[in-house]
Each structure stands twice: as C-alpha cells, then as structure tokens.
Structure 1
Amino acid sequence: MLRVAGPRLLDERDRSGVQLALDADPVAACMVASRVELAGVDSWRLGGELWGVGNKLEGLCFAGANLVPLRGERLALRAFADRARRVGRSCSSMVGRAELVLPLWDELSAHWSPAREVRADQPLMVLTTRPAQAPDPLVRPVRPGELDRYLPAAVAMFTEEVGIDPRLGDGGVGYRARVAEQIASGRAFARFEDGEVVFKAEIGALSSRVGQIQGVWVHPDRRGRGHGAAGTAAVVDRLIGMGRVASLYVNGYNSPARAAYARVGFSQIASFATVLF
C-alpha cells in the first residue's frame, strides 16, 4: 500500500522518473511534458513546481499558472490538496484527466475561493494519421507583422471560451505578448480574408511526441460553412508532418465542435475536466 507522508518538491535529480511518468500518458501529459523537455524539472526554470508522491512517483502534479494533476490514487490526490491548501491558490485553473481533477477539486473546494465554472466533461481526442477531412489550403502560420490583425480574433476566442476578457488587469499588454510569442514560434495558424481572420488555431503545447491544438475559432459570420473542420485539419496535417500525434480537448456540450473534429478523424481516448477561477 502507498504510504503518503506528503508530496515533495521535485528537482533535476528526479528527471528520469518524471520522464517515465510523463511517457506513460503522453497525450494527457502533453502540457507538462512540453515544459519539462524544454526546461527540465527545477522549478526556477520550469515556470512552476512538480510535486511527487512515492518512491516511484505514484503521484505527480504540476503547480504553476495551472494546477495539473498527472497521476495518483485518492491518497496521493489528498496529499496534493493538503499542499495546495498550505501554499494557497495562485493558479487560474485546474485541468487534466477528469478522474484526477474532480477528486482533487472535491478536496480543495471548501478551502479555496469558489470556482467560476467547473467543466466536468471535456473529451480528450487524438489523431495519429493524416486527417480524413481535406485541409484548408489557405490556413497558414501567422506572420509576425500580422499580430495586430490576428489579435482581435485571439481576444474574441478567449473571451468566448473562458468567459473573461484576457486584456483585463493590464490593458492587454501581457496577453498581446503571449500571442506574439505564439506567432514568433510558428504555432499560430489562420485563414485571412480581406485582412480579417476567418479561422484561427494554435498549437498550444508541443512535446516530442504530441501536439495539443487549442484556441480553435471561426468568425461568427462564417460559422456553419466547414471552416472549423478544414482549418483544424490543416493544423493536424502540420503536426503529423512533424511526426507528432495531434490532440485536443473540447467541451462535452459543444456539439458542433465535436462533430467537426469527428469529421477531421479525431477519436476520444479519455475525458478532461477544467475548473476555472
């Protein structure tokens, strides 16, 4: 039986064990794996902390801008909740496999500020081959000089999806910088017509094995015409060409998006959940 004395803060000495744990669930762990592959395990480079439980990391959790439980039975999740209560909430959301996020939130909900929303059913989907849907040939990487044309669509997508304007607090300086970074890295894609974004999406996380697509958005005036499926297929085609598995997760209630992703060829392998603050 796993005996839990409390999670420990992991460092570079734990990297091989962390990598083994992430490799065991590469699609669900993509967000964290992409960070670890780039920055290692030490928190000062990682942009967050990795907490571990057990000699073989039977429990693993990332704590940064998002709180991401990666593996663990109930005792490990309870240990993570204890640590999270002690340090206080600094994350903007909890996200990951539903069977980990929801029990962890059960432990924390009485101690942290109330959630704005709990999205308990978010199918996690993958595609390992070229898309079944023909890719939109006009979807391409956004160029750095197109930031000002791309940014309004990014703001609209974020506001529509998350429920808050990402420019609040600093007038949009931080969000603009993040979008500019995505563009500079070649991971923002769009179809432009007359200088306006018709479709957009990003590769939000990119590990050595998986690319996670996020921020899929179609201009409201152009919805229902197949732009979402064809545009997503173009991004999938790029990922498959890079030797990655394509992945995304979608709200269970979003029937049009789920239908579009099914046309592209995605299939569900698990369920995510997100707690928004």
Structure 2
Amino acid sequence: MLRTRELVRVLGPADRDRFIELAEQDPVVNVFADYRARLTNLDERWLGGQVWGRFVGDDLVAGCHLGANFVPVQCTPDDVGAFADVALRRRASVGTIVGPHDVVAALWEEVEARWQRPREVRASQPHLEMDRLPSVAPDPSVRLTTPRDLDLLYPACVAMYTEEVGVSPENDSGGGDLYRARVQQLIGRGWSLASFDERGVVFKAEVACATPYAAQVQGVWVRPDRRGEGLATRGMASVVHHVIGTGVAPVVSLYVNDWNTAARATYARVGFEQTATFSTVMF
C-alpha cells in the first residue's frame, strides 16, 4: 500500500498536457475531465477541487477529478484503490461519484463502509454518442437563449434539476445563487438552447462541457403539459444541429438513466447510439 501511495499525487499546471493526453485516450467518455483541465489548467484556485494522477515510473496511467464530482479518468477497477483514501479525505465536498460502471462499482466497493450512505445509486446509465447530423427535422423554434430569457429559463432549469436529481438546487447554502450563476454562464457561452410559448419554456437543453473532440449535453427537459408531442425529439435534433453544425464539437454525448424508457426512445429516434455504461452514486 505504501508503494501505491508514493505513485499517486496531486496534479498541477505543469501536468496539464499529460493529463489531457490521458483523457484523450477516450475523449468522449472523458469529456468532462478533459474540459475542466483545459478550462482551469489544473490550477486548484479555478478547479474548486483537485485532480490526482497515478504514475508508473514517469508515465501517468490513471487520474481522477475530485471536486463536487468524483470522476475517474482512464481508470481500471485495479486503479481505484490508489484513489480511495484521497476520495475519503474529501468526501464531505463530493456530491456525486460518476463514470464508467465497472470503475464506479469497484471504487464504491472500496469506500462504501467508510462513506456516508448515498442518497441514491444509479447503477446503469447508458452513455450515448452521435457524430452526424440527424435525419429528424430540427424544431425551428429552438434557439440559443439570451440574458433576456433568464427570468423564464431559470425556473425551468430548477424544475428539471429537481425532477432529475430529487432535490432542488435552491437548497444549497447560497439559496440557489450558484445555480442561477451557472445558468447565466451557459447562456453567455452560447450553450443554452430552448423554445418558448406564452407560458414560458417548452423545451430546453444545455451543453455542459465541450472540447475539440466532443460535447456533453445535460438538462434535457420538456414542460410536463407539453409532453407527448414529439418536442423532445425535434428539440434534441436542434441541439445536435447546433453542436455539430456550428462547430462546437464533432460528437454529441450524454448519459441517461436506464429506467427512463421515454428519454431513451427519444435519443434513439434522433440517432444516438450507446457506446458505454455509466454509474452515478449520489449523496
């Protein structure tokens, strides 16, 4: 065990390129960690956490992003023991453990007895990808949002988050200020798309992160009274057209709960295909 600890350390700006090379071994699955490395240069002041690496000699062979999300990067089940003690030391700040199913399962087996009880474990989440424009016609009413849309968009984002996660983002210590700032940030980056009617948001989705290789979509939502009209299919076609058609990224990815058969059918109609299986442990 001592030898393993000696091979594991915090990564910093000098390690940025090596960590990105590691993430690029599977650039779509690792899009979140790759994006965070490019955005922050692995500087802890901007990460809001740390990135750790496991080395064999001079070679970086596995890593993890450890902030509000614990995200393994190119880990095998055998690697997770190297990061278990690190994760446990920061468990008070970790909201989710998320990544490839076999790695998350192995990590959770390692730390479960020493961690608090999770709020929920989503053991099987198909990871989907698409690298071409859809044959489904996009919804012409779906557009990039602007700062003027915030007052209508923010309640829809809160509703989506609460429905999906099971708790409101407004329950945080800032009373939702951080979440509202995140929505504003996505609008400013041109990563927020929505359609509207006289009652407010009809469909919405966001690009959560993007690299030269892939973009990950999150927050897909249709207002409950408008569900069953095919709006999600056409809306997601619009999202794919925006991401690929405007050069945001060449691949669109997302992951979905296996029990959400309606969403999975929507993504299949658009043209998404499963390439991996994720798991999420939520606290």
TM range (shorter): over 0.9
Asked if residue 261 in structure 1 is aligned to residue 262 in structure 2, the reply is: no
Report the equivalent of 2:93. Answer: 90
Letter in structure 2 aligned against 1:156: A
Opposite residue 45 of structure 2, the aligned amino acid is W
The correspondence of residues 110-259 of structure 1 with structure 2, limited to 5 A, is 110-168=113-171, 169-241=173-245, 242=247, 243-259=249-265
Query: Residue 213 and residue 88 in structure 1: after superposition, are their counterparts in 2 closer, same or farther (change >3 A)?
Result: closer
Match of 1:76 in 2: 79
Q: In 2, distance between residues paired with 1:247 and 1:75?
A: 26
Give per-residue Cα distances to partners, 1:10-40, cap 9 Å, x unaligned. Answer: 1122222211111111111111111111221
Moved more, 144-153 or 69-78: 69-78
Give the TM-score normalised by structure 1.
0.95
Determine the structure 1 residue equivalent to 2:27. Answer: 26
Query: 1:175 offset after TM fit, Å?
Result: 1.5
| Alignment check: 8 A CA contact 1:125 1:248 kept | yes
**Cα separation, 1, equivalents of 2:169 and 2:76:** 35
Q: Secondary structure at the match of 2:4?
A: coil
Structure 2 residues without counterparts, runs of 5 or longer: none
Unaligned runs of 5+ in 1: none
- Three-state SS of the structure 2 residue aligned to 1:170 is coil
What letter is aligned with 2:275? I
Cα distance in 2 for residues equivalent to 1:74 and 1:4:
14
Equivalent pairs, count: 275
**Are 1:5 and 2:10 an aligned pair?**
no
**Structure 1 residues 42 and 174 mapped into 2: Cα distance closer, same or farther (>3 Å)?**
closer
TM-score, scaled to structure 2? 0.93
Equivalent residue, structure 2, for 1:53:
54
The DSSP-based 3-state class of the residue aligned with 2:235 is: helix
Render the CA deviation track for 1:211-268: whole Å, top value 9, x for unaligned. 1110000011111111111101101111112142111110000000000000000000
How far apart in 1 are the matches of 2:141 and 2:47? Answer: 36
Stretch moving more, 137-146 or 85-94: 85-94
Query: Could you give the per-residue CA deviations for residues 63-98 of structure 1, whole angstroms, max 9, x where no partner exists?
Result: 011000112233420110122223443111111111
CA distance, structure 2, for counterparts of residue 65 and residue 141 of structure 1 = 28
Q: Find the aligned partners of 1:211 and 1:152 in 2 and give their Cα distance.
A: 24
